[in-house]
Structure 1
């Protein structure tokens, strides 16, 4: 699969980084003077504009029509056509009204198509600085072609994928592609081995940003051939996922359809042969059966409950973009999380300082300059001003530093400059040490070619050279090391052993050194640095885990949800973070290089057996999500960068960060965390499980009534008698009363122990054997009660409209009482929590008003064929409903007794 994909993408960045810059220029038939105009035009005609292709979306009318594509809707449309042919226009209008309302609800909830692709297109640079015919030009970025020579400056958005041919202290922010929180230092040498995107340091990618320095590069890929274009293509190719709930509802709808068709066919033959009913009357009866058996109110009920879940989650900082996601959250079995900015702060923080006399631990998180230093050996706080060696180290990292720490307009502390340098400035601010009298005389800027920075400062009436950079580079310079007792010979073995200890913790290190300078010194250069260099110490830093994420992961694991980290960062860092987060399997990381050569079957095993995946590309993340889905997992994927977008769109639940997430990621996601807090996911899972429980209660509540109504029609046809209820009266029960009462169940609170149980089996039907038994029991009870009541009233000579009104009131009342049975499926339903459920009583009050209207408002009497009822018949209906309630509660006791006895037998 991998090889085929690369072949489809053509000559991509997968090969250019392994070639010498001169060979790349020769292969692209370009040079330092760039392309000439004729050659550029010819290449433009061959490669096309440097932009990402747009895919046409469906027209609005087609999106609306798509919401009629449901088996239950087909039944209602057929019923509307038949009633129209028969001249029952009121019935036709009401049935069509129900269908259109359901379609409008679905259309309103549908998210706008392909906004994620528009978001990626918005990330491309609009202008480019190129060299053509030996002249520098500012051109539209869409005119770039492979072979163009592009110049880069600080702040530029890179307009295409480039092979760098000349760099000067170039550092690029690539987090949107790689997920790494630090800027990447670039160089021009060929890399002689296969490496992932984040390690291709001689390439610059379209859509990333120049943080510092300048460079020149040759375009190796434009438009859809760039890495950003590859992500765009993966997004376009991802098919929408059907949620477990929608799949279950489709199966339920098909089951109801097949059952209705079989019963209607049998009844048609039976009635024509044995009862010789007129065709018109028989068709109207069969339409009544179809309308009775179809739970047409169910789509509206589900939408109401899901919408309420959306509002509840929004109050908990989880913004749902796609309605069925609410329920899918409760079914998640795996959460694949990006590390940077999701599980971690995405703010480099110094956690320790290593000096000659020992180490110091640094408290505090992120860029907030609050936190104390303590002795690593004793744990006691220290005063930096009282430690001369520590004070000199702080002076070096503060003064030999181009970053600035400042408070933004929103009150949050921010770094201006590279994250690593910023972390050193935050450390300096935490110590409270000030160096206002220091005067900068000269400096050597940082460059990846030599991996250090140096400054010449006048401080304390003397000149000092401060040096910061890679530890191994400063090791080579150092002649001595500074301790609290003064300078002593440099111990390289000691420092390398200590570095290895910190590296195992996933920490990155920056070293500091100094050397005295002459009082009249006014400049410094590379040649003058060696000699007399005093090593001061090492700052060990990391992008720390979010404290709340540790607790959230524990909650998820307790709920049977496995958490996996998929990051572009280094394996050691990923494993260290995994350990800090309390992940169960953090000791072994799989790298992108390993995934690259795995077959789909091998990758499926790796996805199931490992929890840490490092140095991954966007394609690896997408493949891992698909592999987990193929094994039956319901997968959530979190992230904040463009590199996460394809996997987020593929996942059953894509979760984007709201504060630091890119617009592309947010548009590809199903849910956005407004607070970038992983803990909000755990709260959303709890809400998702509550919503699913309430949906199941609602379905168990609605279907017995449909069964009872269907049985009334079936038995009447078999007996050759008048249909007890008209199609309009049946629609009234299904839409007005069922939807109203289901609203009360939607407010039911979460049951105890919800987050201690394992996720439900994704493919398991929402209706198990016990649920089917309950539906059958209650349906027969209600239908039997209605037939007994109808026979009683017929024997006393009551009119047809009066009997139908009494039956309607009885069925609605029984449904209302059964709603209380449904609050708790396996225990006694009446407890103190029902008085805290305001929705329960609001639904009851609304139902009362509706029934008063249909019974006593003349216009409603005319439309629905009802009559005013004496108060006594309300009492009869209530007594029948209470009888149903008692029987169902006794059934619960019997089932508990049976299951308890079976459990004891199994133990024995």
Structure 2
């Protein structure tokens, strides 16, 4: 088995030096390309845009909704009834067929929008140097070898190799998923370096957030990293939902069964009974109409729609209707870390001084949380070292935190500085605003920030930054007993311990300043500062995530973290929130070296994957599916789009997610919260339960109608019910009784059972047994009542009217059996679904209208009956209810 290649064939631009780039692309970094070179390269490479695929026409999308065997059979039945001048039957059948097609057309997703969204991310313009002159051009006209100028706020117009830079920082979340800006330089890196660590490259669709640069275009259009993602998205074949696959298979099976039975039915009537061809055709069509559950597509759609509404109330927005029930069947959730499992808000969790370790409570930027040592809250006023530490964090800081209109705390400025500011507020230093006289802003070349401040009558220089750089300036560290010589080896051990928790580390230092000092400049003197200590910062887990993951375990759903972050950070977060197999994270580099077979084995036992690329995410989803697992995938960036589309259900972030990720997904989280997925799984399982209950109701009642007609032919008697009457029964029971099941509330313990197996047939042993039993029971009672009415002297029209009422009453009582597939129908939750009782009331009124209005009597060939004739249908229905409840009681131990 071949290993997945990390890069496409061609140069690994990030591994080449600036000189090698110039030589390979034949460009002059100062003057750029000439007009002749640009013209030749346009012919060779084409425009800098993503290729577009031909879209399917709207008409074809609509016509494809009729591509179903059951629909073909109904259309043929409509044609035959029209030829026989039975236009009522024809129009009713065609109405059902067209409505089904419209519903399917409306609910079908538009996956091509994901590709359009990716194209919209590309920069529209670029500043280039050509023929020694600087000019602005349309980004689509860029060619490899072009020299582009980039500055803060620009969107990178193509994949470029940086050849000159000044404090360049690029936000690459569209590709890596991590919002933290990446510092860039001109140095080459190893060939096997993953995309997130290619510091000499800037990629199309990412954004310059700080500094400026001169760069050479190395890849354009479909050859860029975002172009590769576009190709992956367009190449991913969408998987149908489990239920739709089951219903499709069931429809094919049912179609052949119905056609076979109908053919045998017609042949028996022709050869062994004295029916005319016309009568047999009409009876056969009646049998087809009776057997086909034409109301099922509408009931399924309504049930799914109700599930969508319930999920929307829980902040889960379903974009593609059939995906509702997929949630209930997922075996594994692949989740991004930042913003989904975590808050995407940096938080200071640990402060370490020479003598003490302080643990900080609270999450996010909200300045609320106690500061403790070994579980005990400290008295900050008595802790001189910690007080000076907080003064430093408050003074050497350019960020702000404040409440927004919704009452949530948010940051303005660098997230890391905002975390330090929140910590100082927790310590009571919100009002501490020392006068700032001068500042040295943070730059990547020296990696610290320093400020000159006046406190009362004394001046201080405060410094924060990378601990190794800050420590270089220090000879001593502050303790409760004064300044002591710094022990660098001891501090390295302390920092290693904090880093093992997945926390980023910042250092802090200070020194008193001379009274006459009014400005500070680089270089600051070495060994002149007093080291205060280090702060451990992390993007903390959401408070509700650990509980949600525990609930997933109970429900048999595994959670796997797939992130672009570093392995240590990912492992620490995974361990804290309870993801299984979180001891050792698998890195993207390791995935790179695995064959597909090896990865298929690895995904069974490992829960955390770090430093991943879009290709890795897609491979992981495929590996999980190769193990027979139904996979949900969360994501928010362009890099997530291929995996979102490939997953059985893609889940995008509504707040921080890109439009590309939303268009590639089936569900959007309005609150970006992992716990919302767990709530949606509950609703998904409820939706599947209700669809199965609808099948439990519809199929046996359709079977009973079919048996009534077949029994009449086999016995050689007149038809107890006409095809038009069967259509009436199917229509009124579908829009009332079957519809009411869609509103059944969530059953208890829905999250205490494992996901249903992917290969579990929709018709299990118990299901088949119930269909046969109820079909025979209702069919026999309907036929028996019809016979009895004939025996008592009631005419044919009256006997058929009573038979129709018997069929309806039996279905009405059977509805209550179906509300609980195995449990008793009468329980303390009996009245929870008020729509059942509304449906019973509406159905009763419809049957009264059916029996007692002249218009309906003429239309359906029925007649008005004395009230005594309602007694027989009522008793038959009650008998059905009692027998099925007894059957449920006896078989409860047999079929788990």
Q: TM-score, normalized by length of structure 2?
A: 0.96
Secondary structure of residue in 2 paired with 1:756: coil
Displacement after TM superposition at 1:26 (Å)? 1.7
1:800 and 2:802 aligned: no
8 Å Cα contact 2:472/2:527 also seen in 1: no
2:25 and 2:455 map into 1 onto residues whose CA distance is: 53
2:623 and 2:727 map into 1 onto residues whose CA distance is: 45
Once the two structures are superposed, the pairs formed by residues 169-248 of structure 1 within 5 Å of their partners are 169-248=167-246
Displacement after TM superposition at 1:554 (Å)? 0.6
Displacement after TM superposition at 1:683 (Å)? 1.2
8 Å Cα contact 1:183/1:419 also seen in 2: no
Structure-2 residue corresponding to 1:35: 33
- What is the RMSD computed on CA atoms of the aligned residues? 2.0
Displacement after TM superposition at 1:731 (Å)? 1.6
Q: CA separation of 1:65/1:813 partners in 2, compared to 1, >3 Å: closer, same or farther?
A: same
Displacement after TM superposition at 1:10 (Å)? 4.6
1:637 and 2:633 aligned: yes
Structure-2 residue corresponding to 1:814: 810
Q: CA separation of 1:314/1:745 partners in 2, compared to 1, >3 Å: closer, same or farther?
A: same
Deviations 1:826-859 (A, max 9, x none): 2321123121210110111111121122212222
Displacement after TM superposition at 1:890 (Å)? 1.6
Displacement after TM superposition at 1:378 (Å)? 5.2
2:597 and 2:699 map into 1 onto residues whose CA distance is: 42
2:205 and 2:181 map into 1 onto residues whose CA distance is: 14
1:180 and 1:795 map into 2 onto residues whose CA distance is: 80
- Higher mean C-alpha displacement, 332-341 vs 218-227: 218-227
Displacement after TM superposition at 1:74 (Å)? 1.3
Secondary structure of residue in 1 paired with 2:830: helix
Deviations 1:855-902 (A, max 9, x none): 1222222222222222112111010111111111121222236579xx
Deviations 1:379-418 (A, max 9, x none): 22332x5433223323333333343334445543332333
- Higher mean C-alpha displacement, 227-236 vs 719-728: 719-728
- Higher mean C-alpha displacement, 153-162 vs 395-404: 395-404
8 Å Cα contact 2:4/2:595 also seen in 1: no
Displacement after TM superposition at 1:522 (Å)? 4.9
Secondary structure of residue in 2 paired with 1:629: helix
Structure-2 residue corresponding to 1:11: 10
Once the two structures are superposed, the pairs formed by residues 65-214 of structure 1 within 5 Å of their partners are 65-214=63-212
8 Å Cα contact 2:436/2:451 also seen in 1: no
8 Å Cα contact 2:323/2:649 also seen in 1: yes
Secondary structure of residue in 1 paired with 2:604: helix
Secondary structure of residue in 2 paired with 1:755: coil
Q: CA separation of 1:459/1:167 partners in 2, compared to 1, >3 Å: closer, same or farther?
A: farther
8 Å Cα contact 2:437/2:519 also seen in 1: no
2:67 and 2:809 map into 1 onto residues whose CA distance is: 33
Secondary structure of residue in 2 paired with 1:682: helix
1:489 and 2:485 aligned: yes
Structure-1 residue corresponding to 2:610: 614
Structure-1 residue corresponding to 2:758: 762
- Higher mean C-alpha displacement, 421-430 vs 800-809: 421-430
Structure-1 residue corresponding to 2:891: 895
Structure-1 residue corresponding to 2:830: 834
8 Å Cα contact 2:148/2:217 also seen in 1: yes
8 Å Cα contact 1:855/1:868 also seen in 2: yes
Structure-2 residue corresponding to 1:21: 18
1:889 and 1:409 map into 2 onto residues whose CA distance is: 56
Secondary structure of residue in 1 paired with 2:178: coil
Q: CA separation of 1:898/1:121 partners in 2, compared to 1, >3 Å: closer, same or farther?
A: closer
Structure-2 residue corresponding to 1:772: 768
Aligned counterpart in structure 1 of residue 315 of structure 2, from 317, 320, 323:
317
Deviations 1:94-132 (A, max 9, x none): 110110111112222223342222222222222212222
8 Å Cα contact 1:574/1:612 also seen in 2: yes
Secondary structure of residue in 2 paired with 1:546: coil
- Higher mean C-alpha displacement, 94-103 vs 203-212: 203-212
1:805 and 1:896 map into 2 onto residues whose CA distance is: 37
Displacement after TM superposition at 1:459 (Å)? 4.3
8 Å Cα contact 1:124/1:207 also seen in 2: yes
Displacement after TM superposition at 1:179 (Å)? 1.9
Displacement after TM superposition at 1:460 (Å)? 4.2
1:6 and 1:573 map into 2 onto residues whose CA distance is: 23
Secondary structure of residue in 2 paired with 1:609: coil
2:822 and 2:230 map into 1 onto residues whose CA distance is: 49
Aligned counterpart in structure 1 of residue 737 of structure 2, from 741, 757, 761:
741
Q: TM-score, normalized by length of structure 1?
A: 0.95
1:560 and 2:556 aligned: yes
Q: CA separation of 1:334/1:3 partners in 2, compared to 1, >3 Å: closer, same or farther?
A: closer
Structure-2 residue corresponding to 1:871: 867
Q: CA separation of 1:844/1:577 partners in 2, compared to 1, >3 Å: closer, same or farther?
A: same
Once the two structures are superposed, the pairs formed by residues 267-286 of structure 1 within 5 Å of their partners are 267-275=265-273, 277-286=275-284
Displacement after TM superposition at 1:771 (Å)? 1.4
2:375 and 2:577 map into 1 onto residues whose CA distance is: 25
Secondary structure of residue in 2 paired with 1:155: coil
Once the two structures are superposed, the pairs formed by residues 636-675 of structure 1 within 5 Å of their partners are 636-675=632-671
